[in-house]
Structure formats: structure tokens, C-alpha cells
């Protein structure tokens, strides 16, 4: 095992766990999560598992102290932790807004700030996991869309600020990926199975993505082969945002067929 040290937030499940399992071939991986059950499983796999709320400055400072004391370096910081709030704007509370923005955006600002010196010393890199919701509108998800758009914009700003120090910053926008978060979303819908079926149909590749589909792009951005890549955003969505749903009448006849 090498000396490379990576941190993956939200690393106890879904995309984060897939990334951690891939990065472990390079060296040490610190899995950060607030789900104690997921952390226990990660620890059983051999990961250095740390419980933390990524929206908390104190928790980040404890984490950075742990990394500095145990490893003395940080080569890759993957901001993957995220949460969603799916509800009409008028049905959303201030608390809902703060929960989404704290977890999805504030965590990137605080965490990167606290890890600054370690990243600079190692000439490391940061990968921010955003969403295709940063690129297109999504109904009943204003706070989530705003947070992911902010992550992509923040990536560019951090890339510029870090560049003189040899630290690269990029973002990845996953599409509809079957993570525990999406599974819970479908389970909470009255017609969840039908909603999932329709979503699958909208993907040119004919299926939803898996965490293992997303992880290679994230991991690639931590590699020396990506040394010239910074301030960039990568979309991994099975072609979803490359399409436009014209509806059945446009493509299959109907009243506008001869127009």
C-alpha cells in the first residue's frame, strides 16, 4: 500500500463507497460519514472510518487533526456528501434550506478551507461531486438545484485560487444513480415504481446509473494523468442531459405530424 491519502465524505454508501473502494488501491482512504451503521460497515472493510457532520467546522477541524496526526499528508479530498429536499418551495422551511445548503455547499467551503495547508503541502487535488441538477431545472427541488449549481461554480473559483499552489479542483455531475438516497426517494413516492420506469426510459443507455459507473471519473481526476485538468466539470449521466423529450405526438404522428 502506498503513501497516498484520500478523504471521501459521504463515503459510507453509494457513490462515495464506490470511490473509496477504488481509491484504496492507491493507499489510505479515510471514509467520512454521519451514518454510524454505514461507518461500521466501512470499518469492517478496513477503511479508516470517521464520524462527522460535514457542515460543522468543529468536526472538520477534528478530522484534519486526525489526518495530520495519523498520516501527515492529504493527496485527494472528495466532497461527496450530499442530501436532497424534494418538495414545493412554499412547503419548504428555512430549516430545509439550511440542511441542504449546509450539507451540499457549506461543507465544501469549510472542508476545503480547513484542509488547505495539507492539500498545498502535498500538491493534492479536490473533486466535488455535484449533480446534473446543476445544469438543468428540476421540479420541486429548488434548494437542491441551487446547491449543486453552487458546487460547480465554487469548483471554478477554488481551481483559480488553488492553482498557484499546485492544487487542482474539479467537479463531477452524476446523473440518476441508484444510491440509497434515490432508492428512498422512489420508495416515498405513491407511484414510485412507475416514476422509476419512466426515468429509465429517458436515459439513452436504457438504464439508471450505478455508483460504479460514476467512481472511475472521480478517481481519474485524482490521478497524475489528470495533472493538466483543473476547473473543469464532467457529466456522467448516461446521456440524459444530451436529450430532449419531445413527447409521443412529435415523434409518432398526432396533430402536429403534418405541421
Q: Is residue 150 part of a domain?
A: yes
Any domain includes 148:
yes
Residue 173 has a pLDDT of 98
Residue 135 lies in a domain: yes
Residue 89 maps to a domain: yes
DSSP letters spanning 107-140: HHHHHHHHHHHHHHHHT-EEEEE--GGGTS--TT
Q: How many domains does the chain have?
A: 1
Choosing from 55, 144, 214, 219, the catalytic residue is 144
Model pTM above 0.95: no
CATH number assigned to the domain comprising residue 131: 3.40.50.720
Gap between the Cα atoms of 148 and 212, Å rounded: 21
What does the DSSP 8-state code read for residue 207? S
Alpha-carbon 170 to chain mean position: 11
Q: In the annotation, is 144 catalytic? A: yes
Q: According to the model, what pLDDT value does residue 183 have?
A: 84
Q: Which domain holds residue 170?
A: 4-177+212-235
In angstroms, the CA 85 to CA 16 distance is 19
pLDDT along the chain (259 residues), means of 10: 86 97 97 97 97 98 98 98 94 98 98 98 98 93 97 98 98 92 81 88 93 98 98 97 68 43
* pLDDT for the residue 246: 58
DSSP state of 231: S
Amino acid at each position: 500500500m502506498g503513501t497516498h491519502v484520500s478523504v471521501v465524505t459521504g463515503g459510507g454508501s453509494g457513490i462515495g463507497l464506490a470511490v473509496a473502494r477504488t481509491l484504496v488501491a492507491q493507499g489510505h482512504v479515510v471514509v467520512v460519514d454521519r451514518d454510524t451503521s454505514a461507518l461500521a460497515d466501512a470499518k469492517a472493510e478496513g477503511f479508516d472510518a470517521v464520524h462527522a457532520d460535514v457542515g460543522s467546522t468543529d468536526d472538520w477541524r477534528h478530522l484534519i487533526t486526525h489526518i495530520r496526526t495519523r498520516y501527515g499528508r492529504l493527496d485527494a479530498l472528495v466532497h461527496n456528501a450530499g442530501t436532497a429536499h424534494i418538495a414545493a418551495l412554499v412547503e419548504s422551511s428555512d430549516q430545509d434550506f439550511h440542511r441542504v445548503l449546509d450539507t451540499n455547499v457549506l461543507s465544501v467551503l469549510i472542508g476545503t478551507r480547513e484542509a488547505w495547508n495539507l492539500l498545498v503541502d502535498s500538491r493534492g487535488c479536490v473533486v466535488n461531486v455535484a449533480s446534473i441538477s446543476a445544469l438543468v431545472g428540476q421540479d420541486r427541488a429548488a434548494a437542491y438545484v441551487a446547491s449543486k449549481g453552487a458546487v460547480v461554480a465554487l469548483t471554478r473559483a477554488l481551481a483559480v485560487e488553488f492553482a498557484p499552489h499546485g492544487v487542482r479542483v474539479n467537479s463531477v455531475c452524476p446523473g440518476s444513480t441508484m444510491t440509497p438516497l434515490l432508492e428512498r426517494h422512489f420508495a416515498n413516492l405513491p407511484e414510485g415504481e412507475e416514476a422509476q420506469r419512466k426515468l429509465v426510459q429517458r436515459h439513452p443507455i436504457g438504464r439508471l446509473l450505478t455508483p460504479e459507473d460514476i467512481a472511475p471519473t472521480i478517481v481519474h481526476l485524482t490521478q497524475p494523468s489528470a495533472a493538466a485538468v483543473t476547473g473543469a466539470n464532467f457529466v456522467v449521466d448516461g446521456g440524459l442531459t444530451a436529450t430532449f423529450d419531445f413527447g409521443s405526438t412529435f415523434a409518432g404522428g398526432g396533430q402536429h405530424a403534418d405541421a
